[in-house]
Chains A and B, each alone.
Chain A
Amino acid sequence: MSLMSLTATELGRKIKAGEATAKQAVRDALDAIDKKDGELNCFITVDGEEALKRAEQVQRMIEDGALTGPLAGVPVAVKDNLCTEGLRTTCASKILYNFKPTYTAQAVEQLTRAGAIVIGKTNMDEFAMGSTTETSAYGQTKNPWNLAHVPGGSSGGSCAAVAAEECSFALGSDTGGSIRQPSSFCGVTGLKPTYGTVSRYGLIAYGSSLDQIGPVARDVTDCAVILEAISSYDRKDSTSVKREDYDFTAALADDVTGMRIGIPRDYLGEGLDKEVKDAVRAAAEALAKKGAIVEEFDLSLVEYAIPAYYVIACAEASSNLARFDGVKYGHRAKEYEGLHNMYKKSRSEGFGPEVKRRIMLGSFVLSSGYYDAYYLKALRTKALIKQAFDRAFEKYDVILGPAAPTTAPKLGASLCDPIKMYLGDIYTVSVNLAGLPAITLPCGRDAAGLPIGLQLIGDCFAEKKIIRAAYAYEQTGSYERVREHVIPDVCQSGNGSDMEE
């Protein structure tokens, strides 16, 4: 049995107990990648040799008692928009095909210090712009549950790698649902923390005011453990928040007695797939049976979240991505005449169509004469959405709903209609606009066998409430564990690693 079939916490415990070694864990991860990733393409870069070397060091430190944490020796996959010193970091873009950061992102640094071993960098939508992982310049990632479907995005590589047991857990980033939606599509558990909880230092920005790094894992316990490891007050990130409670695992209690759970009626309306709606309702009932008080309410403003999100995220992105210009790092056009032409050609060649679309959209909404009508209005909408959530959290501990209106669409079905793809973010983007924490975990499968995700949203800094609710739901066992359902075909059809380097 592969050590990758264990949860991160289980594996960590086993290594600590001397029943397995960090090196065996890394080997099993690399073997799984070898077998499956040719088909799935979860990874852009695999750092096998380094990971094995690191595993030996970590093993010694575990044996010396220098590393005692729950993640010591556990292999982790890192989304390719998180900087890793000396290890290529592409953001799934051609423009960064050769970029090797000079420093490591704070969240990754903290994981490394906790003894987790980075085995590689996962595929994603280019610069995290997309909901399918199809906008990557390094090929699409496939959904392990059905290879004809997308894994979701933008953290599709991370979520698919966890689902396919190519690693024990992964890091993703979530700007408008990029952890939660692919977690839902891949049947894994993903958490987007309160804005400011995990340092963004070293996360290559998409929408700076919305981006958060978070865990992608097999279960709620792992999510809490990983969040504990990656969260911190970091002086290098001015938007980092000094919190009182970093002991997220303390919330892993199977008790929702008296917990007030609200379901926004606006989340169950038009556009929501019936199978998804039924599964989410069933999950709510399961929690009610355990003693939670569940009721429906009107959240309001839900329909304004998507336009506000795309205006703000694209505006920030248009500025954040300006630094990729061929001057300092990354792709530079081979032939050009003068500075302006060099910029133009390097960026035209380096960025894919979805990124260009969002840069243009963002530049437009910030341009003089349009700023007030678009950007300022979007900021006001953002503030109103936050107020709507504030009102809801006066009444409820947790808001429950779907993570996405459907299960994973077929490959190629989304990009031809970007507006439709944007509308798929309806249940996730408002959480980023309001800076809230939310967790997605599996709550069933549709008729085609694709996973359905349940989303639990908390008030700012109320991670513990959503962790408790999610953990309690998980204990009902009303959905099946992922590992029993990883498509057997994938495991067998793999034909070695032939990834782009």
Chain B
Amino acid sequence: MKTYETVIGLEVHVELATRTKIFCSCSTEFGGAPNSHTCPVCTGQPGSLPVLNRKVVEYAMAVGLATNCTITRCSKFDRKNYFYPDNPQNYQISQLYLPICRNGGVEIETAAGKKTVGIHEIHMEEDAGKLVHDEWEDVSIVDYNRSGVPLIEIVSEPDMRSAEEVIAYLEKLRLIIQYLGASDCKLNEGSMRADVNLSVREAGTERFGTRTEMKNLNSFKAIARAIEAERARQIELIEEGKAVVQETRRWDDNKEYSYAMRSKEDAQDYRYFPEPDLVPVQIDDAWIAEVKAREPEMRDAKLARYQRELGLPEYDAKILTGDKHFADLFEATTALCGKPKKVSNWIMVETIRLLKENGMDADEIAFSPVNLAKLIDLADSGSITSTVAKEVFEKIFREDIDSEQYVKEHGLATVNDEGALRAVVEQVLAENPKSVEDYRNGKEKAIGFLVGQTMRQMKGKANPGIVNELLQKLLREM
């Protein structure tokens, strides 16, 4: 039985988080009535001309610098010609000959250890509109709101050997880009799209096998499944003595099956040529330095700092820095209450639990750090019990309520007054003679039940320490 090695390279498209489109000043905002974010430029009106959005160049440079690429000092745009109605000019402005970044790479870590995945190039280009077929009317309609939204395409070297490495690479890219603020990188919403180029070869051989390109991968799970399936499909072909055909395939994640879209033979000739409507992008040292200087603290630096300066365990630091939104929330809240480990706990336990329960992503966290910070202070000072705190937090999570005010208005503050608690404790003792007797007979555990009963009566607001003391005292006196 031969063993095979999988060789994988990725083409990752990332939608940049600019306020306006790449070649006009239309909004990039999602939603909006069809064709409401359009102008002569992004609908390909005759006579209109593109003007490059400087922010796109800066984001592309920032991603390039963070992935150790060389920035091309004189970068140019090219036209990729093909006819399709979602592409209003019937050409896409992209970069072929002189992409903005080249020769980079990122380090990934998997169970197999660390390795570097090379980045061949990063180029800038425009997104297309959306074509919808209306089955009812039997017409196709097109919405150009997405037309001209800026994209970068990150082309890796064929350096990955497994689905695990691919996921690690994508996670790494996602984090870098998210930290730079260049994109939210959501696969399920299409702001990050990955096409997988895959071939197999007998272990130990030098030459690459024939590769296929897999499209329509909308989640990490889909990517992993598609890689496994494609690897198996290619190996089976080879084992049967058949040839792998160089082609583009489309993954159907429901059927866990891919089918050929087009082969190399009917690949289009895009007739690329330099875009005459745009001048070359000249990038000097000063501009690179400026972009570099604006680079925020990246993940690795945060990971180290959280442990070193804030004393968090590595486990916490990894989770918190594993999503920029967690890190941002953590830092803002810690700055307010000065209790990093407590903040970390609230994020890692309650926040993540509620996100999961509600099927939400970290970027959908809607509450303000100030309300979490106040809650932590309230709980820490003993003003509320941990039970109440959890209850209040759910309110914060859902409605971003002011924790102090909420506790006050709903009378949730911990009752520390012995006089008030004594009456409740006495009542509990009177109502539970069996437990009292058990306790007297040496069943120490029975006191726990009595504490619980008291807390229940107090709706969780009683100071458990005082309740405990009172119970012991009264039981002794009885």
Give the interface of A toward B (CB within 8 A): 81-83, 89, 91, 96, 99, 101-103, 105, 200-205, 207-209, 235-239, 315-316, 318-319, 322-325, 327-329, 339, 343, 363, 366-368, 371, 375
Contacts and interface: CB of A to CB of B under 8 A. Distances in A.
Given A101-B45, A322-B81, A315 B273 contact: yes
**Prevailing SS type, chain A contact patch:** loop
A316 B278 CA distance: 13
B191 interface: no
Given A99-B46, A322-B91, A323-B89, A209 B276 contact: yes
A201 B47 contact: yes
Interface in B129-180: 140, 142
B232 interface: no
A387 B83 CA distance: 37
Contact of B79 (A202, A236, A237, A319): A319
Interface in B360-393: none
Contacts of B278: 238-239
A198 to B, nearest CB: 13
Contact of A322 (B40, B45, B51, B90): B90
Given A89-B46, A328-B43, A323 B51 contact: no
Contacts of B140: 339
A239 to B, nearest CB: 6
B82 to A, nearest CB: 9
Contact of B51 (A91, A202, A203, A238): A238
Interface string B14-57: 00000000000000000000000000100111111111100000
A492 B45 CA distance: 41
A14 B44 CA distance: 43
Contacts of B52: 238
From B49, B91, B277, residue with most partner A Cβ within 10 Å: B49
A237 B273 contact: no
Contacts, number: 100
Given A238-B51, A322-B89, A208 B81 contact: no
B99 interface: no
29 contacts: A81-B47, A89-B46, A102-B45, A103-B45, A105-B47, A200-B47, A201-B47, A201-B49, A205-B46, A205-B47, A237-B49, A238-B49, A238-B52, A238-B278, A239-B278, A239-B279, A319-B79, A319-B91, A319-B271, A319-B273, A322-B89, A323-B88, A325-B83, A325-B85, A328-B43, A339-B85, A343-B83, A366-B271, A371-B272
A325 B51 contact: no
Given A103-B40, A323-B90, A367 B271 contact: yes
The B interface, classified by DSSP as helix, strand, loop or mixed, is loop
Contacts of A367: 269, 271
A327 B85 contact: yes
Contacts of A327: 85, 88, 142
Nearest to A234: B49
Given A239-B279, A319-B79, A328-B88, A202 B47 contact: yes
Contacts of A81: 47
Nearest to A105: B47
B131 to A, nearest CB: 10
Contact of A101 (B44, B47, B91, B273): B47
Given A99-B46, A237-B49, A325-B83, A371 B273 contact: yes
Contacts of B47: 81-83, 101, 105, 200-205
Contacts of A328: 43-45, 88
Interface in B112-142: 140, 142
Contact of A208 (B43, B44, B142, B276): B276
Contacts of B40: 101-103
A389 to B, nearest CB: 20
Given A235-B51, A315-B273, A328-B88, 6 more contacts: A89-B46, A103-B40, A200-B49, A202-B47, A237-B51, A319-B81
A236 B25 CA distance: 10
10 closest cross-chain pairs (CB), A and B? A322-B90, A208-B276, A366-B271, A209-B276, A204-B46, A202-B47, A83-B47, A323-B44, A204-B47, A323-B89
B48 A375 contact: no
Among A102, A328, A343, max chain B CB count under 10 A is at A328
A477 B168 CA distance: 80
B283 to A, nearest CB: 16
Contacts of B81: 318-319, 322, 366
A316 B276 contact: yes
Contacts of B272: 366, 371
Nearest to A339: B85
Contacts of B43: 328
A375 B272 CA distance: 11
Nearest to A103: B40
A50 to B, nearest CB: 20
Given A322-B89, A322-B90, A327-B142, A238 B45 contact: no
B273 A366 contact: yes
